[in-house]
Structure 1
Amino acid sequence: MATKPTIAFSHLGCEKNRIDTEHMIGLVAEAGYQVDSDEDAADYVVVNTCSFIEAAREESVRTLVELAEANKKVVITGCMAQHFQDQLLEELPEAVALVGTGDYHKIADVIDRVEKGDRVREVSAEPTYIADDTVPRYRTTTEGVAYLRVAEGCNYRCAFCIIPHLRGNQRSRTIESIVSEAQQLADQGVKELVLISQITTNYGTDIYGEPKLADLIRALGTVDVPWIRMHYAYPTGLTPKVIAAIQETPNVLPYLDLPLQHSHPEILRAMNRPWQGRVNDDIIENIKTALPDAVMRTTFIVGFPGETNAHFEHLLNFVRRHEFDHVGVFTFSPEEGTPAYTLPNPVPEAVMEARRDAIMKVQQPISLKRNRQCVGEVVDVLIEQENPATGELVGRSARFAPEVDGLVYVEGGARLGSLVPVKITDADVYDLYGHTV
């Protein structure tokens, strides 16, 4: 019997995309296809694209064009396939198939059909699929960490965001399915699980009729994994019940990723955010009181249409006042198909960039102060890389999330994927330095 063709995967975009890619690798391997990390050696390259903002689309297009120029048979999956299906099929004759965000579980069947000579378009108009704990998955992250999806899609309609259009409405997995997958990952030796969805604090509302994040946190407390981290927690969803669950579940880190986007009530209303006004200040103070050890990360958008100097000053003072541990700043990107695309009073690119730089300038000494508070402490560090030339180890402490925050540079010996106690001896704006104890 002829051997099945070889497939390589190119993953672009967010960790939600990464999970989709990991499931696709698991599914094609289960179907008997060879999987190779070398795109040159592969018969097909599956490109899981991102379409969140213009820069992400440009990277996706660049990748597709390079593969097409190398005469690769390309399967386009993910958000761009969902977003621009007609244009992609028209402009890229090398694209043998398109697979939408709600159809990646059909990947093996799609390649079977391509092998028979079809050009396949498998894109559901309204994505409704979400993988559970029974769908095969091949992890592509460093051995110590894994992302765990608790829900997919979003019911909010923020004026700047294309995600609901690309990934559909919220659909949560059951608590049982999530705990089962968490246990599988723990059995593989994973030391850190990162819970993700579009809005993790809304977990369960669609299937249980009310948010069930507190129940999920407590259920995950039974899984033998040292660190569980949550991403994308709306501050309004951090209810006393959720905060109590974090406090009472030892392996759930008091790390809060709060996608605030802005501080001024007028801009928040224009953005169609689901809460408004000074409630931001009160909620953040309440969280700090309830979880005094919490590490707080947030992201802001500057240059939203109509953002005045006064609105921006409000945001700058907000950053000064709250002293977040980690801050990310994006300049507004107008996305066709979103309400913000046609809003009047655009902010010039140069002004947006100056505002982004001004926030980072205010934030850097705050981040430095926060990091310096760790000097002299002994903290657990998850070892993820080793520099073969110097023997220096690189990892993260609980205050750093993978891929978005800083690193800990460690002298001394330790196994990759292990958690080791490290004495912190130095700190800069982004990273910590220390030696194993």
Structure 2
Amino acid sequence: MSHTLLLQNAKLFSPMHGLHDKVVEILVKNGLIEAVGEGLGMAASELIDCEGAYVSAGWLDAFGVCPDPGEPWKESLQSYADAAQQGGFVQVAALCGSAPKPDNESVIAQVLQVGSNLRAEILPIGYATIQGDAKEMSEVHEMHRAGAVAFTDGIRCSASVGLRYKIMQYTQSLSLNYLHFPYQKALAPDGKIHEGMVNASLGMKGIPSIAETVELLADIEIAKYLKTPLRVMGISCSESVSLIRAAKKEGLKIYAAVPVMNLLYTDEALLDFDENFKLLPPLRSENDRKSLLLGLLDGTLDAVVSNHHPEDIESKKVEFDYSAWGANTLAQVFPMMCKAFENETAENWLPLLYRGSRTFLGLPEHDIYVGAEASFTIFSIDGSYSAIEDQNKSKAYNLPSPNAILKGCVLGTIRKGCYMKNDD
């Protein structure tokens, strides 16, 4: 028996669609879009009133970390997916697993099997090196066949230039996606926050921008030599934006992603030693923050990622030097972006959530048209989101600004024709 679903009073957000910004009805039949139009007046087995809300193609988060399998008390695959759906994501690409680590096909297959049936679909990312230690290449081809969407060293280890060359050459030959986080730890072995006025005033060792740019420069030169696309994540400083802009002008296919926290906050958030703002890449200066925003608006940068790194209280609520890196961000990406881009129209930045992220991962574009899979995010730019711990579906302790009320809220998602309301 066929199942039909009708979205009514939906304000369509699809700048390339002729009905963009119009109030429409969307008919879904057996998981596919059957019709989009004004006043369709069709019957359906399930009605959804979207009064006052926008509907766009379903959002995708292109990078985050989940410690399950291994440490489900910090974040399980289910709680990760629940928090992602709460944040409006229908799919999330994530590096999942701490014990065992995702460096082999069995872990990838396990994550894919579990993650395909949750409130948001988890697309597994595999380690490009064994144990993610950046010393020896892992079984990349086997993991790809098992369902890995991309490969990375993660954010705490960076493979040597020689090993990166080998990885990029190998993944190019198989048309696979390697995501590199440009960070040379040797230039900041004890660094905790951005190197600038704040770290000097606090007497803390800093992480200079050159720790990022020296690795990015090497990546660009390797990609030019191999004539291969380059995908870099964790871009955080103005110098990197300039390097990427210049490389694109030269014709290099380079795709770059920015963590959402770096769009809204600067290193001044660390003046009171709040461990939930201890991040990699680090929060940098106001000039860096503005450069990232401009880079996203002018097309130099391609995507915004949650960079979700869940931790428990034992790992975070300790002396700042020993506190784990990362923040619980999945449910807050959209309201953070609403705040960061508050002086821009949504058409200038919201497609980053569904088009930019897919471009970054090399996935086919997805939008709202007849015959496409019914994958939607229902949201309000004028609504409000309250970052209260007991309302956040992530298990993680490390929630930044837990008492903040931000503009912008997600009302629900639809994936494969199934409606998930956010107060469920």
Q: What TM-score results when the alignment is normalised by the length of structure 1?
A: 0.37
Q: Which has the higher contact order (CA 8 A, sep 6+)?
A: 2
Structure that is richer in helix per residue: 1
Larger Rg: 1
